[in-house]
Homo-oligomer: A and B are copies of this chain.
Amino acid sequence: MRYENNGVRDLSIAYIGGGSRGWAWTFMTDLAMDGQLGGTISLYDIDREAAEHNRVIGNALTARKDTVGKWNYKTADSLKEALTGADFVVISILPGTFEEMRSDVHAPEKFGIYQSVGDTVGPGGFLRAMRTIPMYVEIARAIRENSPNAWVINYTNPMSVCVRTLYTVFPQIKAFGCCHEVFGTQKLLAAMLKDQKGIENATRQEIDISVTGINHFTWITKASCRGMDLFPLYRNFAKKHYETGFCENTDSNWMNDSFACAHRVKFDLFLRHGLIAAAGDRHLAEFLPSWYYLKDPETVRQWMFGLTTVDYRIQDLHKRLARSKRLLSGEEQFELKPSGEEGILLIKALLGLKDKISNVNLPNRGQVANLPLGTVVETNARFSRDSIAPVFSGSLPNDVLGLVMRHAVNQAGTVEAGLRKDRDFAFRVFQNDPRIALSVNDARQLFDLMVENTQKYLNWD
């Protein structure tokens, strides 16, 4: 790569999971709108054809007159080919098929365990981790061999487990995990300013926050905007909308949209603990025992968030496949609208073009003072030229620590289980998840069933 006119040319980016019909398109579009960067993107995917399609779609974007970020899209036949010479590596893969995901999300329902996402913690998150870890072992080794100095951006879930696996296999890796869940809560706080103070024009970026915790179970310990402390306002806001929920800031309604929520879980957690939980309610609920928010579908309805079904995800994929076809044929074009994601900004910060503070997932070196060192935690960090420096976020209060710590411990156990491939040990970690409030026999039945369902990705005895 080379610096030129306050920009960087000839960048080399490897995109693992480059056939993606979600993140990849967002990323391509954001890049196309940014004139400071340019170079080559090497798409690697085990679905070779999907990567090939994205190559065509990407180069079409470059060919458009109204794009300023010009990239040359290629496909790669191997991890090695994709990674060699890379300055940045993006990882955004889908571990397994909808078949395995169906087991992750729905198999536990037979045992009375309902999941709103099933990709982070709980029985679904655990099994997904078991499938994902061996893939990440392979990726980490390939990076160590082929691009040890590249910056590696992970988008895959379970986020904490993926990032921890990378660091376990290759401790010198320059990897971090990006997630936009916190942004949603910043938007909620901006909406709150309108609701509480009539301030219409506050942007997400103006909501200054201190974030701490672990991915999808992050907590805002300080929030301000234009010098105002937002905590007293949020207390009123949470009380006002506690019963009915707050839906106004969302683009869509929680009843119709698997990804929406009315923030009742968030309000409840705030009224109990005094901190602002910073993720969608669907994610938050999964970190807590079933008797909190996920007891049964009726309870979930009362808390006003949706259970994402795999059927929904399949439907959604069909839509995206159809769209891919249209994009490939030129029948449709991407709209050049900023996604609101910060990936490109972080890359630019790492290139030294403009430093940035953002929330990020990294191994704990003390940025969360009372979680174990090595736990992948989510806090603010400062991104600058070839550097990500975590910003100290202090200690979690003891009551919230009680909720978060068990997931920190399980994170370590989950990665160990995925690496060891010891079925009994894996079961013991599985059983420590707060959602698995089952007798040991029931827990084992569920575990064995789910292992069976995802067996071909595990190759366990």
List of 6 A-B pairs having minimum Cβ-Cβ separation, nearest first: A366-B366, A402-B432, A227-B352, A399-B428, A398-B413, A224-B385
Residue of B nearest to A4 (CB): B227
Kindly provide the distance from the CB of A224 to the nearest chain B CB, expressed in whole angstroms. Answer: 4
Q: Mark A405-422, 1 if CB is under 8 A from B, else 0.
A: 110011011001000000
Q: A228: which B residues are within 8 A, CB to CB?
A: 3, 352
Contact of A380 among B369, B382, B432 (CB under 8 A): B382
Closest-CB distance, A156 to chain B (whole angstroms):
22
Alpha-carbon distance between A369 and B374 when the two chains are bound, in angstroms: 14
Q: Is the CB of A440 within 8 A of B387?
A: no
A319 contacts across to B, CB distance below 8 A: none
Q: Chain B residues near A227: list those with CB within 8 A.
A: 3, 6, 8, 351-353, 385
Of chain B, the residue at the smallest CB distance from A291 is B439
Instruction: Tell me if A403 is interfacial: C-beta within 8 Å of chain B.
Output: yes
Docked pose: A226 CA to B384 CA in angstroms: 11
A354-374 at interface with B (beta carbon < 8 Å): 355, 357, 365-367, 369-370, 372
A289 neighbours in B (Cβ, 8 Å): 437
Is A401 close to B, CB under 8 A? Answer: yes
A352-B227, A382-B357 as given contacts; A392 in contact with B365, CB under 8 Å:
yes
What's the least CB distance linking A12 to chain B, in Å? 16
The reply to whether A412 and B425 form a contact with Cβ atoms under 8 Å apart is no
The complex places the Cα of A432 from the Cα of B352 at a distance, in Å, of 35
Residues A410 and B402 in contact, CB atoms below 8 Å apart: yes
Q: Does A68 lie at the interface of the complex (its beta carbon under 8 Å from any beta carbon of B)?
A: no
A389 interface residue (CB < 8 Å to B): yes
Binary interface profile of A, 375-388, with partner B (CB < 8 Å = 1, else 0)?
A: 00000111011110
* A110 contacts chain B at the CB level, 8 A cutoff: no
Please indicate the chain B residues that have their CB under 8 angstroms from the CB of A382 in the complex.
357, 380, 382, 391
A222 touches B387 (CB 8 A): yes
Considering only residues 428-443 of chain A, those with a C-beta below 8 Å from chain B are: 428-429, 432, 437-440
Which residues does chain B contribute within 8 Å of A370, judged by CB atoms? 372
Whether a CB of chain B sits under 8 angstroms from the CB of A210 is yes
Query: Which residues of B sit under 8 angstroms from A412, Cβ to Cβ?
Result: 398, 401
Contacts A227-B3, A428-B272, A437-B289 given: A413-B391 contact, CB under 8 Å?
no
**Which residue of B is nearest A405, CB measured?**
B409
Complex Cα distance A34/B118, Å?
A: 53
**Mask for A333-367, Cβ within 8 A of B = 1, else 0?**
00000000000000000011101010000000111
- Which residues from chain B contact A352 at a C-beta distance below 8 Å? 208, 224-229
Assess the A401–B409 pair: CB atoms within 8 A.
yes
With CB as the reference atom, state the residue of chain B lying closest to A390. B392
Q: Which residues of B contact A313 (CB under 8 A)?
A: none
In this assembly, does A273 line the interface, its C-beta being within 8 Å of a C-beta of chain B?
yes
**Beta-carbon nearest neighbor of A443 in chain B:** B291
Which residue from chain B places its CB closest to the CB of A273 in the assembled complex? B428
Contacts of A399 in B (CB 8 A): 413, 425, 428-429, 432
CA–CA, A394 and B362, complex, Å = 14
Q: Which residue of chain B is the closest to A387 with respect to CB atoms? A: B222
A392's partner among B367, B410, B425 (CB-CB below 8 A) is B367
| Distance A370 CA – B408 CA, assembled complex (angstroms) | 12
Q: A224-B385, A351-B227, A392-B390 are in contact. Are A406 and B413 (CB under 8 A)?
A: no
Residues of the B chain whose Cβ atoms lie less than 8 Å from the Cβ of A20: none
Q: Would B389 and A391 count as touching, CB distance under 8 A? A: yes
Least CB distance from A172 to B in Å reads 13
Given A208-B384, A224-B352, 16 additional A-B pairs, CB 8 A: A6-B227, A208-B385, A210-B387, A222-B385, A227-B351, A272-B440, A291-B437, A365-B366, A389-B394, A390-B392, A391-B391, A398-B413, A401-B409, A401-B412, A402-B406, A405-B409
Determine whether A292 belongs to the interface, using a CB cutoff of 8 Å to chain B: yes
Q: Is A160 an interface residue (CB 8 A)?
A: no
Most buried by B among A6, A370, A409, A439: A409
B-contact 0/1 string along A212-228, CB 8 Å cutoff? 00000000001011111
CB distance from A226 to the nearest CB of B (A): 7
